[in-house]
Structure 1
Amino acid sequence: MEPKIHYVVRHARYIANEQGATDVHVSVNRVFVHEQPIVARKQAFDFYEKIQEMIDYRRLELGDAEETGNNAIGKKVEGPRNLPIENNTDIPEMFRKSDESQKLWQELQSFYEGNPHRVWALENPEKADKVTPYGDAVVILVRDVNLLDAEDDEAELTIHRTIKLDANDPHIISTGYDVDELMLNLDTEYILYQNLGYDTADQSDKVYYWDSERYYEGLPQEKWADWHTILKTPFDWTPYQKENWWGDLEFFQNHERKLIDEKVEMIFNQHEELIKNGESETVEFKPLLFGTIPGKDKNGNPKPRNMGLEVAQVICSFMNKYGGNIYIGVKDNGKIVGVELENKNNEDDYIKSFSTMKRYFFGNDPVLVYHYIKGRFVTVEDKRLFCITVNKSDDEPVFLFNRNVVGGARHEFYVREGTSSLLLYDAKHIAAYIEEKWWRKKYQ
């Protein structure tokens, strides 16, 4: 019984005619049939490799003696890679191994030398870049006409060929063939084997593939990529397992906007979650940033609280521990009241005043001021808050320059302990902390 599918290996060369349209010239057309199509398939791929080896040899070793196109027309390139074979029967030694190889070489050689296209290309250089000088072999599955699903279905399905992405436009394939169609044909081939009960001899493979056609059709993103079970081929699917291998600029723009939106949403949700969990070693609440509020000293006597100094102390303690966020506009109990601009004209002026405050307390170290301490406005529960993000200092200890102490300004060292920013007075304690956190790690 004749099998329902068989294979053809074809070598074709695309040539531009006088009108600039592309014609296909076929030099080899070999048919492979077997009662077990998987056997015919293997024979076809073995034959394909022989043809492609000869094509690659001619392309690489003989150079572009016959090549046309903008880079070769009218140019004579010196060197052995550009010398044509003088005689059709002058078969390279590597292809003299068998009668079949010699015959195949002569078929291809005759095709190249006997083609009048080179003369036409020299006379029409503006159209000559529309050719593939050496062509490529293709492996084609041929279906019984009774297996076609619709009138416009084709009996022949190309399941393998040399495909290279164009450097200037990744969506345009240098052979003019669409990778999506190649995958579709391989999908169809595998389904045919399953439906017809043909043995695949453990030749199946699973490939993850991003389909450019689905993208351009506007399907949802979850439809763009999928796993495909196909019969193995030498084709390298690795470049096509990445999203947007087709290089569409709009994809990158949309993708970037999506990432930004997701990040903004994550940050907002994070702020709300952090505030809801209350103060900690990495979270602090303050109602104001610049002014004073009523308070008491350690003896219970009234003493205004300098909010700028308190915030600076927390910043210093965060840098000397784990880092953290300070939310201005949140009461100590976690109630979100919103930030007051405190006589500043707008949010920009508020941020400028914060920059001045940073330099006031940490101006001796500009790196800390500009890279470790950043402030920005955020919206949580429809209220504007000022969030100060503090990064921990991995390289060295940080000291606050306090100008508001009796007897003159001094450097102070704060560390975070629980929900408090502690001032270490004792020099021995400061030295021990610094040694443990910075120096010992640096020299281990």
Structure 2
Amino acid sequence: MLLSKRNALKLAAAGFSYIALTAGMALADTKIDFYYPVQVGGPVTKVVDGYVQKFMEANPGITVAPIYAGNYNDTTTKALTAAKAGTPPAVAVLLATDVYTLIDEDVIDPIDDFIKTDEDKAWLAGFMPAYLKSAQTEDHLWSVPFQRSTAVMYYNKQAFKDAGLDPEKYPTTWDEMVAAGKAVTAKDAAGQVTRWGVGIAGNVGSAQWLFGALVAQNGGTLVNEAGTETYLTDPKVVEALQYWVDLSTKDAIHPPGIFEWGTAPADFLAGRVAMIWHTTGNLANIRKNATFDFGIAPFPGHPTPASVLGGGNLYIFKDASDEEKAAAYKFIQFLTSDEILADWAVQTGYVAPRDGSWETETMKKYVAESPQALVALKQIPASVPEFSTHENARATKILNDALAAALTGNKTAEAALAEGQDQIDRILKPYR
């Protein structure tokens, strides 16, 4: 493969200078920038600041400077800009799907080249294989799972009960979701819908994620493992999009047009939508604010249930100094320890991507208080990686535009996906 050879030559030319780093290398007075995708302020930054402080107390020779750079897209843009300017962060949390872009831009180092000792190998072996898989390509592991998630279905048990449904029985197939959606959709005396049955976010940045789950449920796939080919015209992919469109136009249980990711939790909490597809990373928010009994369910299937993995990984940047990279690797191991990831899961609702985290007392207590958290864990083996290709930003926008065209009725599902496939083929041709 052309890219594999190209990157192999680049890595060879670099000489793997950091391989010479030993466990005992002095890291005194080493400062590293840590880019994290969140707006300044708020509870998440306080949690991250706490982890940074704890790490620095245990490693007095290292100073970590958290830089809260906005959302994921903002953070990736800022990290790439800094790298091109010769002032890269040593470490950053970026989307797992950014891996091909970061490789193509030649700004990150493979994580596996830092794995030297038996202790390193044991740490790496502790991650769930499903989350490692999305970071592996071109015979390297390029990032480390951190704030990972799956998409789950939140459903209003009270709405189910009011509609005569068993609130403990969630839909497990597409047909069952339609039937439940029709039962819980409510209208006022004038015939206006006051509560929709289900909402699947279709706005740019979210549509491709949830659509990946729909396609997997239908036995299809959106992209190959190398990120060089997409399959938007596959009948199973087209059928999945048609099902999504039909939820609104045929079944009348889904808000018309684009259902927004950002407002979906508020719509659910306000009782405007009885079922939403969203990230498990919203569990803490919904637990705190729900005024009704709610459930979390794995996604349905057609016929096989499936979900999609998501979230951010930790990357080490290539042009940081050897000392900075060594410090970054040490910081990554700290952030992805069983205890920290367990605490992070409790604080945020993200899925701890290490089996050992689920055996900690912190996690055991959390699961006892919030057994819904186990839904995401149990769903991981049936989850597929998120859509990711070379030139990922461009390809993802094309896919999102195709989905929007179909959801808004501007094009048929088949025509929208065919046009999107043609555009993506032109973009990915040089990478094949």
TM-score by length of 2: 0.19
TM-score by length of 1: 0.18
Name the one with the larger helix percent.
Answer: 2
Q: Decide which structure has the larger Cα Rg and report it.
A: 1
Greater relative CO (CA pairs within 8 A, separation 6+): 2
Name the one with the larger strand percent.
Answer: 1
